[in-house]
């Protein structure tokens, strides 16, 4: 039976370290500032954004939230991001995705100043990650958090290990593959067009599932002893809990995979809590850089 990787515990450690470092920075005259922007009323996004703003306050940050109506014109959003770029009290800017269809999300992301892009989505930060300029980059929060969980089991150097990342999104799959490569793993990115995905997955010492399909990765896709990182968060019907009830599952069929893997992240309580923790870490890093102080290593 696989070891469970406790994302809640690791996230709490990260937040504790961020809070302690923030206190030092505040005493020296710089309060880390995070601005979160949400457009529209999507209930899931509202919940995510509220928890990001709340966690920022708990860390002692200056935390501002801009909640805009769904019909906000693109130019207005650009103007808001530009104002936040100029605001010296703000070190991190996060525009919650998805944005309404009439807004060009790519343009909004590229408007964020790269040195305040705590999501790590700007081309400058994508390029820095791809070329190994990690000292000045921002790494997207979910892959960064996944790497911290992986380190707990495998250490920082993944030399000689094979990693398969299932999913090629810009937010998770591609940056995750770059981080694994930077840690010396031998990396394959698999996706919906990959031939014989189960056989490929079975070659992986490190298997990362980031596709957004509930319980797609089965137990017999997992190499015995592998480390399985499940990035998926999917809400599915749970009639066994009562009519209309739902439950959260990952992209991995957890009970099956747990019987084969060496270590595995649960859902909920695995990668999920790490995303917000790493957003706090990135915001602290940004404030340290702005203040000319060396950021901590997480």
- Residues of the shown chain interacting with ligand GUN in the complex, contacts defined by CB under 6 A: 94-97, 119, 141-142, 171
Report CA Rg, the chain.
Answer: 19
17 among known catalytic residues: no
**CB-wise, 94 or 226, nearer to ligand GUN?**
94
Q: Which of 17, 21, 52, 230 is flagged as catalytic?
A: 52
Residue 31 CB, nearest approach to ligand GUN (Å): 22
Q: Which of 21, 55, 119, 251 is flagged as catalytic?
A: 119
5 near 270, Cβ under 8 Å?
Answer: yes
Residue 97 CB, nearest approach to ligand GUN (Å): 4
Q: How many whole angstroms from its chain centre is CA 54?
A: 17
**Which residue sits closest to ligand GUN, CB atoms considered?**
97
Residue 105 CB, nearest approach to ligand GUN (Å): 9
Residue 48 CB, nearest approach to ligand GUN (Å): 7
96 among known catalytic residues: yes
**CB-wise, 25 or 34, nearer to ligand GUN?**
34
**CB-wise, 34 or 197, nearer to ligand GUN?**
34
**CB-wise, 51 or 131, nearer to ligand GUN?**
51
**CB-wise, 263 or 278, nearer to ligand GUN?**
278
Neighbours of 57 (CB within 10 A): 11
Residue 253 CB, nearest approach to ligand GUN (Å): 23
Active site residues: 52, 96, 119
């Amino acid at each position: 039976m696989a070891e469970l990787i406790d994302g809640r515990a690791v996230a709490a450690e990260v937040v504790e370290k961020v809070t302690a470092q923030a206190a030092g920075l505040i005493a020296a005259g710089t309060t880390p500032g995070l601005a979160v922007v949400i457009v529209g009323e999507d209930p899931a996004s509202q919940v995510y954004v509220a928890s990001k703003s709340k966690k920022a306050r708990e860390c002692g940050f200056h935390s501002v939230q801009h909640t805009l109506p769904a019909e906000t014109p693109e130019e207005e959003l650009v103007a808001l991001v530009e104002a936040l770029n100029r605001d010296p009290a703000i070190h991190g800017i996060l525009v919650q995705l998805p944005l309404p269809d009439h807004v060009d999300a790519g343009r909004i992301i590229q408007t964020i100043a790269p040195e305040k892009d705590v999501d790590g989505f700007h081309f400058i930060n994508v390029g820095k990650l791809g070329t190994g300029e990690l000292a000045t980059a921002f790494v997207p929060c979910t892959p960064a958090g996944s790497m911290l969980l992986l380190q707990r089991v495998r250490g920082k150097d993944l030399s000689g290990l094979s990693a398969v990342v299932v999913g090629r999104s810009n937010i998770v799959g591609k940056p995750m593959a770059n981080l694994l490569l930077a840690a010396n793993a031998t990396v394959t990115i698999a996706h919906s067009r990959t031939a014989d995905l189960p056989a490929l997955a079975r070659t992986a010492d490190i298997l990362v599932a980031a596709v957004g399909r509930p319980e797609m990765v089965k137990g017999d896709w997992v190499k015995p002893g592998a480390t399985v990182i499940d990035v998926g968060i999917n809400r599915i019907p749970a009639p066994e809990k009562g009519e209309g009830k739902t439950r959260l599952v990952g992209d991995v069929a957890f009970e099956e995979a747990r019987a084969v893997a060496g270590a595995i992240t649960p859902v909920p309580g695995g990668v999920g809590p790490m995303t917000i923790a790493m957003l706090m870490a990135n915001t602290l890093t940004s404030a340290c850089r702005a203040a000319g102080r060396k950021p901590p290593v997480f």
